[in-house]
Every structure is written in structure tokens, then in C-alpha cells.
Amino acid sequence: MNYIETDGVKIVLRNFGKIDPLKVEEYVARGGYESLKKALTAMTPEAVIEEVKASGLRGRGGAGFPTGLKWSFTKKDADQKYIVCNADEGEPGTAKDRLIMTGDPHGLIEGMAIAGYAIGATKGFIYCRGEYTTSINTLNHAINQARENGFLGENLFGTDFTFNLEVRSGAGAYVCGEETALIESIEGHRGMPRFKPPFPGGAGLWGKPTVVNNVETLANVPVILDKGADWYKSIGTEKSAGTKIFILCGNLRNTGALELPFGMTVREVMETYGGGLLTGRDLQMVHLGGAASGIMPPALIDTPLTYEDLQAVGQGLGSGVILAIDDQKDFMSYICSNTHFFEHESCGKCTPCREGTARINEILHRIAAGDGTLEDLDNLKDLGEMMQISALCGLGQAAPTPVLTSLEHFMDKYVEAVSGKKNEVNEEAVATEAIHKSYYEAAPIKLD
């Protein structure tokens, strides 16, 4: 795993490389579990929620929803509530959550216990992809240690608060990262999204109020309680407080993961930490945020990496992947390969996504083979926009984003492709997603 060191403030990776993640005493020696103690012995659940709200923390699972607000929406009166940590991390190129789970598992456990206290949940689940065996083993080891040391279990810190935690593993479907499919999967059913409403905060796991948060989101919580909302808000920008883990990959000199305050531009991060592009290459595009996010043209790389600035230019932060693609890579091969991923991962429950991903793929391959028409480009746009508004879950709603953003910024390449030029798409590689994977594998992050 390639971890890129930076000079700046660290929050979720503050202990990374500084402690042995398998030794709870090393976490405790660096102030670990003090925030949980503070919450349980000196704060009401409402005060914890207010502090998290005031910090400006937004969910790191992709949508950026304000965390404190989500907690405050949890139904109040219920005999049982749950906090669920989304550790599915199935988006190609994303490896940030494994960094936390394998490098500082107690930071996540402490964040979950605090979240449990805040919403009134006595039970938590960490839903982790089955392939991530190192993460699962590390978490189970840490949970046992936390229990043995009185940080999980009954009457924590002499209070009447009880909190238990369990790891559940998924079988490796991207859709199981969607919060309601994840809940179905924990319940033992096939992982397919539910209709919303009801939202999990009202009726989630086994029909009980449930908060689902990302690993990185929860790992921020102990530091917010320790240093205070004002300190946290002073990092990053007004609407994007704190830090974010970014994954640099593709055709950069240096690839790997790093934690940075929100606000540097895409160019600055790629040049300062990524070392720029490999010798003699020019930037063709940046696939920013992960497979379901937008394709960014070179003209937009001076945009700051914040929720608000990216949204203003029609892009998104997604899971924090910064995939640089140089001018030697075939444009249509990349787009086709990316779309193939979504057709493969669509769960098939709703028609717009089941049919839409297949038809988009079909049209793209036709264009890539040199047999496309200008009408195909209109159809791609119509299909993509139809999926955005009618697909049942975020998978189908976001799947066309790379196609729609690339139509917006790289129309010349599509027009060239439909104007009769026979393209060099390697069908076998596209079908096996080999091209797509090859970009991400350029980032040597092998955590499991």
C-alpha cells in the first residue's frame, strides 16, 4: 500500500503508521477512547448531535449529507435502534476505508460507539466486503480488545449505556453499498435496494430506526468531540469542513492515498503529491470521484476539491478518487469499459437501470466500433437523463454520469468516433473490464 505523507493536519489518519493497529493500548496512549468517555460522562446525546452538526461534518460515502442532521432525523421512540457502518467500499479505485480499518480500527469503533450513544442505539454493525479479509480480521481483533478493556459492552465508563458491535461481511456486489440494499443483505436477504421512503432513520434494519454512515465519516467523530466543532470547522472551507482521503491513481508519477484538508485544486494535488503526469504525456481527462462520478476535462482542473466548487462546475467529489488519464489512452475504450461495470453490477430490480445500462453499453460499443451515428449521441443523452430521474437507487441514477459529463466536455471525440473512424477498442479487454481495472491497479494499494 502506498501511503503519501503530507505536512498538513491529519484527522482520520492521525494514527496511521504511528501505532500498531492490533494493540489497543497504543490507541489509548494517543488519547484513544477519551472522546467516548467525554460523551458518555459529560454530554447528553442531544449535545453530541449538536456538536457534530456544528462541526459541519458531511458524509464521506459519496453524497456528502450533513452527519449531525442525519443523526437528528433518527426516530426518537423505538425499543431498538441500530448504527450501521458502511464498509462495503466497492467502487473501483476506492481504498480509503480499508486504510482506516486496517490502520486505525479503534478510531472507527470509538466513532461508532459515540454515534450509537447520540442516536440511542445499543447495537452496531460494520458491513465489510467479504474480500477484505485483512480489514475483517483487524476489526474483529480490535472489537475483542475493546470489549476486554471496557470500551464496548455493558455500562460503559460506569454509565447505563450499553453498546455492542459486530462485523458482517458482504459477498461483493457493488449495489450492496447502497444503504437499503446493505440493510437487506445484513438481514440475510438478497442485496437489492428498497423503495424510499421509509428512510432507514425511520425504519431500517429489521424495521427499526437505523443510521448508516461511511467508515471515514464515523472515524472523524472522536476528533470532533476531542478538539471541538470550532477547531474542526476551521479546517477546509466553510461548506466543506475538515479533511478528506484522496486516492491518486492512473498515469501519475506517484500514486497512493493521502489525507488533505478540503480546498486544494485538482491540479495542485496531482502536481504536488502525484508528481505530475508520467514523462512526455499530456492530460486527457480526470475521472474524479470514482466510476460513478464525472469525467473532468483539463480545463476544469483548477477547481478546488470541495463539495460546493465541484458542484458548481457539474462535478462531484464521490469517494475521493483522482484518476488521471493521459493522452495515450483510448478515450472510447475507457468509457466503454466504465459503462460495462454498471451493466454488470445493476441488480435488475428496476427497468430504467436494468435496460438503461445495457442500452448505453450497446450504443457505446457501436460507436466505438465505428458504426455509430449522430443520432446515437442524442439517444445516449436521452437515456442517461431518463436514468437520472427514474432509476430506483443511486446506482442507476449515477451510472450515466461519466457518459453525460464526457458528452458535455468531449463531444469532439464522440463526433470523431461516429464520423467513420474505426476505433481501436479491444473488445475482450472491455468485456473483462481489464482496461478499467488497469488504471486503478496503477495505484499500488493492495490492502487485502
Ligand X SMILES: Cc1cc2nc3c(=O)[nH]c(=O)nc-3n(C[C@H](O)[C@H](O)[C@H](O)COP(=O)(O)O)c2cc1C
Q: Which residues bind ligand SF4 (CB under 6 A)?
A: 175, 193, 346-350, 353-354, 391-393, 395-396
Q: Which of ligand SF4, ligand X, none interacts with 213 (beta carbon under 5 to 8 A by kind)? A: ligand X
Q: Give me the phi and psi of 302, to 5 degrees please.
A: -90, 10
Report how many residues bind ligand X under the rule CB under 6 A: 23
Binding to ligand X in span 80-109, by CB under 6 A: 86, 88-90
Cell of 411: 463531444
Shortest distance, position 204 Cβ to ligand SF4, whole Å: 17
Interacting span for ligand X (CB under 6 A) from 117-125, 154-162, 375-383, 393-401: 393-401
SS3 431: helix
Binding to ligand X in span 182-201, by CB under 6 A: none
Residue 330 lies near ligand X (rule: CB under 6 A): no
Helix (H) or strand (E) run with residue 241 in it: none
Shortest distance, position 60 Cβ to ligand SF4, whole Å: 21
What pairing do the DSSP bridges indicate for beta strands 82-87 and 123-129?
parallel
Residue 49 lies near ligand X (rule: CB under 6 A): no
Q: How many helices (H) and strands (E) does the chain have?
A: 20, 9
Residue 342 lies near ligand X (rule: CB under 6 A): no
Q: Which of ligand X, ligand SF4, none interacts with 90 (beta carbon under 5 to 8 A by kind)? A: ligand X
Shortest distance, position 205 Cβ to ligand SF4, whole Å: 19
- For residues 3 and 16, the answer to whether their CB atoms sit within 8 Å is yes
The one-letter amino acid at 238: E
Q: Which of ligand SF4, ligand X, none interacts with 353 (beta carbon under 5 to 8 A by kind)? A: ligand SF4
Among 24, 395, 445, 447, interactor with ligand X by CB under 6 A = 395
Among 324, 393, 417, 435, interactor with ligand X by CB under 6 A = 393
**End-to-end Cα spacing for the chain:** 10
Cell of 61: 460515502
Residues 6+ apart with CB under 8 A from 253: 274, 275, 276, 277, 278
Helix (H) or strand (E) run with residue 199 in it: none
CA atoms within 13 A on the CB side of 210: 25
Contact residues for ligand X (CB under 6 A)?
A: 59-63, 65, 70, 86, 88-90, 174-175, 177-179, 212-214, 217, 393-395
